[in-house]
């Protein structure tokens, strides 16, 4: 987990940080007793594979908080989809209760908010004032 700076990748300079939250199906408290540690490991492996940065991560019994920096070329949805897909596959094979307590490990939905940078009103004014400069 690194400090947050401008990043460059394939003709793009970016600073795209997101707060992501998602839950197990029915928001059941399933992310305990080693599942949480295995999930963190899976997410860390995917961050290396997909080349996104984990700024902060916390696994709660019934939801996941992830603060990440993701290239616009990769995209948030692709990251979430890969994390949910791979973790569901691996964790449901390893932990029988994840196969018997819920039909699928994760809900289809997730929360995503951008983080950092100037407030929206400041950027809006900057864009609107461009022709006046």
Residue at 48 is within a domain: yes
Four-point Cα dihedral 100, 101, 104, 105, nearest 10: -120
Residue at 54 is within a domain: yes
- Answer with the residue of higher pLDDT: 133 or 60: 60
In tens, the pLDDT along 43-66 reads: 999 999 999 999 999 999 999 999
Residue at 95 is within a domain: yes
CA atoms in the 13 A half-sphere facing the CB of 75: 5
Other CB atoms within 10 Å distance of the CB of residue 107: 15
The parent domain of residue 82 ranges over 7-132
- pTM for the full predicted model: 0.88
pLDDT of residue 133: 61
Q: Number of structural domains, the chain? A: 1
Catalytic residue among 14, 95, 110, 126: 126
Residue at 1 is within a domain: no
Q: Does 14 qualify as catalytic in the annotation? A: no
- Answer with the residue of higher pLDDT: 29 or 118: 29
We report the CATH number of the domain holding residue 115 as: 3.30.70.1290
Residue at 44 is within a domain: yes
87 Cβ contact partners less than 8 Å away, ≥ 6 residues apart: 39, 42, 43, 105, 106
Phi, psi of 124 (to 5 degrees): -60, -45
Residue at 2 is within a domain: no
Given a cut of 50, whether residue 108 has pLDDT beyond it is yes
- Extract the tokens encoding 45: 């492996």
């Amino acid at each position: 987990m690194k400090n947050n700076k401008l990043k460059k990748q394939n003709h793009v300079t970016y600073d795209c940080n997101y707060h992501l939250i998602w839950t197990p199906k029915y928001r059941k408290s399933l992310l305990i007793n080693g599942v949480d540690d295995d999930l963190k490991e899976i997410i860390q492996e995917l961050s290396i594979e997909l080349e996104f940065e984990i700024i902060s991560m916390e696994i709660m019994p019934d939801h996941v908080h992830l603060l990440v920096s993701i290239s616009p070329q990769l995209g948030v949805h692709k990251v979430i989809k890969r994390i949910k897909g791979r973790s569901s596959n691996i964790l449901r094979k390893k932990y029988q209760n994840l196969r018997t307590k819920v039909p699928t490990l994760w809900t289809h939905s997730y929360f995503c908010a951008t983080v950092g940078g100037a407030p929206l009103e400041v950027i809006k004014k900057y864009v609107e004032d461009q022709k006046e400069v």
